[in-house]
Amino acid sequence: MRIVVARENGEFFDYPLQPAGRTGNFFTPIEKSELIKLPRGATLVLIPGSKALGFDKKGELRKTEYLAVAALLPQGYTRLFLPAYIKENAERLPLFGYTAVVAYRGELYAAAAKTDDEFRWAPENYDLPELNAKIKEAKALFPENRLVRHLENCAVNYRCFTAQNLFYRRWEGGIPVSPACNARCLGCISLQPADCCPSPQERIKFVPSIDEVASLMTYHLTGAGREGIVSFGQGCEGEPSLQAGLIARAIMETRREVKSGTININTNGGNFPGLKEIIDAGVDSLRVSIISAREEIYESYYQPVNYNLEQVKRTIKYAKEKDKFVALNYLVFPGLSDTEEEYDALKYLLRECRPDMVQFRNLNIDPDYLGTGIVFPSKPFGLQNLILRLKADFPGLILGNYSRPVNREENTT
């Protein structure tokens, strides 16, 4: 096995040092058992201003004169190690999930694990030739609906899969509603301070009407059937529950027209009064974002406004009391999530709140920037072992990466 490096012109090649991965603030050898062949849909990127690192035959860490190379994984895969490099400038990296890459017997490998069936999110199922025709069809049906124009931009220019799904009328389609947020996440992908890196997506600038939302919900769910999901809380918006009244009314109007499919909300879980209103209105599932079950880490990353981790737990407990399907959207990061301190806190939260699922989400952020706001614990035991521990300690817990359709008949009393 060898490390993969690149020249400034983008030419990449293997280099005769043994692979090193970063976990927290540590550099460690990468074993063959911690690698998978580079998945379809993965993208290779250079780390600008970096010098790639690797181990020599004596086990000493060595610096090269070349740029480090990283992989950006498609959905369905969980990163195990960050790429190993040192930066020679202070420029912050864009908000992506950088994964270590290794060359082995003439092929490229990633330090990752497959943690879900990626079929519905496989790149070949998107950017299909009929997309433009599907968008025109929706624009003709809803000529005054501002959401259609917003989602057209997401589907075409940002290649957002949930936006495309809404036009294809299949699987999980996203509907953004909230320009505002009650958190200031270090890795927010839709709004960053001017002195930070650019956001990968542009946040929605308007609050849609109830009719704009309900009409698209009905459009998607009638086309997608039982496997269809409508999700609030997209990458191009803030916290959806800040528009709780709008969402609650739209849910009730939609359910008068269509009974099939799942209505889901992706949320930080902190706005309990708003989320209670949405739960009571008939939302089927919640995906609650969390980076840590420890208050100090949680607050350092989310920088919440007018809520705390206890409010998030209260939301999850109430949703479970109302028989809703709840998934944790667990932002995992090598060297943070896979430590004894974190795992002990996570176990306590899982036993206290009893969510149905943990969805692993590779945290998209510059590793060095995250380290300025969070102190990494010592002695990580590995994300691969985190997955194995969760399987052993919580055999009924669903582990994966994607939201699932909910059988509404089974959850209706």
Q: Which CATH homologous superfamily contains domain 119-400?
A: Aldolase class I (3.20.20.70)
pLDDT at residue 411 greater than cutoff 50: no
Task: Please identify which residue in the block is written with the tokens 């916290």.
Answer: 239
pLDDT at residue 412 greater than cutoff 70: no
Torsions phi, psi of 151, nearest 5?
-70, -25
pLDDT at residue 49 greater than cutoff 80: yes
Where does the pLDDT of residue 190 fall: very low under 50, low under 70, confident under 90, or very high at 90 and above?
low
Contact between 99 and 79 under an 8 Å Cβ cutoff? The reply is yes
Q: Quote the pLDDT of residue 409.
A: 52
- Quick: pLDDT tens for 243-300: 999 999 999 999 999 999 999 999 999 999 999 999 999 999 999 999 999 999 999 9
Where does the pLDDT of residue 408 fall: very low under 50, low under 70, confident under 90, or very high at 90 and above?
low
Considering the entire predicted model, what is its pTM? Answer: 0.93
* Mean pLDDT estimate for the chain: 93
SS3 percent helix, strand, coil of the chain, rounded to 5, is: 35, 25, 45
Nearest of 337, 233, 357 to residue 291 by alpha carbon: 337
| Domains of the chain by residue range | 2-114, 119-400
Nearest of 298, 319, 327, 313 to residue 183 by alpha carbon: 298
- Quick: pLDDT tens for 25-43: 999 999 999 999 999 889 9
pLDDT at residue 156 greater than cutoff 70: yes
Q: Quote the pLDDT of residue 356.
A: 98
For residues 121-157, b (16+ Cβ closer than 10 Å) or e, as one string?
bbbebbeeeebeebbeebeeebeebebbebbbebbbe
Q: What is the mean pLDDT of residues 400-413?
A: 71
Q: Quote the pLDDT of residue 321.
A: 98
Q: Quote the pLDDT of residue 200.
A: 57
